Amino acid sequence: MLLVIDDMPSNIETLYEICKEDYEVCMATSGQQALEFCQTRQPHLILLDVEMPEMDGHEVCRRLKSDLLTDNIPVIFVTANNDPLEEARALDEGVTDFITKPFHARVVLARVRTQLTLKYQTDLLRTLALTDGLTGVANRRHFDTTLQNEWRRCARARHSLALILIDVDFFKRYNDHYGHQAGDDCLQCIASALRAMLNRSHDLIARYGGEEFVYILPDTSLEGAEKKACEMEAAVRALAIPHEKSDVAEFVTISVGVAACIPARGEDAADLLGCADRQLYAAKQAGRGQIKSLQFVADGKPTS
């Protein structure tokens, strides 16, 4: 998907005609409109006019590159200015390439194709760097980044954000009894079952550490997160992985802590994570193999 940003409809129409056969082309006629678009849909490439009223291309690019949600989107400047100093300035701001006016269709398509290929390769490397090697779900680094992004997004939209923290019951006993290879196989099976329950592209499951997993559920109420947690707990039991050393059941089970809140600007996402962690601790103290949950108010005051 390409996003063309230009205050001149004729320029947008020209670029649309050039690219429409190969790409989904979206458009914005101002910098502010483009920034708002990118908060809800992230294009794979942006074609950005430099000379625009109110907010020029340089300012739009700076704002895109300062936001973790959009800083990885490559930006091609569309300009009639061939001044080397302007080109150097744009490169310093994070622009990846230039398309000069008047447009030449083959040149436009070649530059677009090149930048999309580079983005695909970069995204692939980033995915590998953000994936847990054993279970194939997101790793802790990916979780930390995503949590901060979703916290800010939900704070802007005043939407609820939910976390589900999961711990495999008596996993050390499992490892000691069945061996570490069996332990790895167990974690892989659980991760696969939990990942299969992702229903939306913006939900995330990550390995939090050791035998712990965590779900990020944006735009989800506590009630919705509790329902999802119940489904997860049942799905792991349904795997029927034998666990002779468990005090909960003859099969592997999980304990689950759930927390949700409407994020507040200036507050910290770590508070919501801490609330979910306390609920997980409560579930384990209550006998494991169960779920505890709490609605959290993002001013530091939990509510029951």
What's the confidence (pLDDT) of residue 303?
Answer: 52
Picking from 103, 129, 155, the residue at the C-terminal end of a domain is: 129
Q: Indicate whether 229 and 183 sit together in one domain.
A: yes
* 91: confidence class by pLDDT, cuts 50, 70, 90: confident
For residue 251, the 8-state DSSP code is B
Q: What is the spatial distance between Cα 289 and Cα 279, in angstroms, rounded to a whole number?
A: 13
pLDDT value at residue 100: 87
Q: Are 166 and 184 in contact (CB under 8 A)?
A: no
- Structurally, the chain folds into a number of domains equal to 2
Active site residue 244: no
Q: Are both 57 and 124 inside the same structural domain?
A: yes
8 & 62 share domain: yes
Domain boundary among 129, 160, 183: 129
Is the pLDDT assigned to residue 300 strictly greater than 60? no
* Residue among 67, 91, 64, 71 at smallest CA distance from 79: 91
Give the chain's mean pLDDT.
93
Residue 134 domain flag: no
Contact 158, 262 (CB under 8 A): yes
Predicted pLDDT of residue 299? 61
Would you place residue 302 in the very low, low, confident or very high pLDDT band (cuts 50, 70, 90)? low
**Domain around 17:** 2-129
Local confidence band at 237 (pLDDT 50, 70, 90 cut-offs): very high
Same domain, 68 and 192: no
If asked whether residues 157 and 80 sit together in one domain, one would say no
| Residues 154 and 160: beta-carbon distance below 8 Å | yes
Residue 9's identity, in one-letter code, is: P
Residues 107 and 145 occupy one common structural domain: no
Of 211, 212, 226, 233, which is the active-site residue?
211
CATH of the domain at 109: 3.40.50.2300
Give 111-125 pLDDT, tens digit per residue: 999 999 999 999 888
Helix ranges, 130-246 (H): 140-157, 171-178, 180-195, 222-238
Average pLDDT over residues 80-86: 81
In a domain, 204, yes or no: yes
Q: Which has the closest alpha carbon to 168: 213, 226, 222?
A: 213
- CB–CB of 44/82 below 8 Å? no
Residue 96: inside a domain: yes
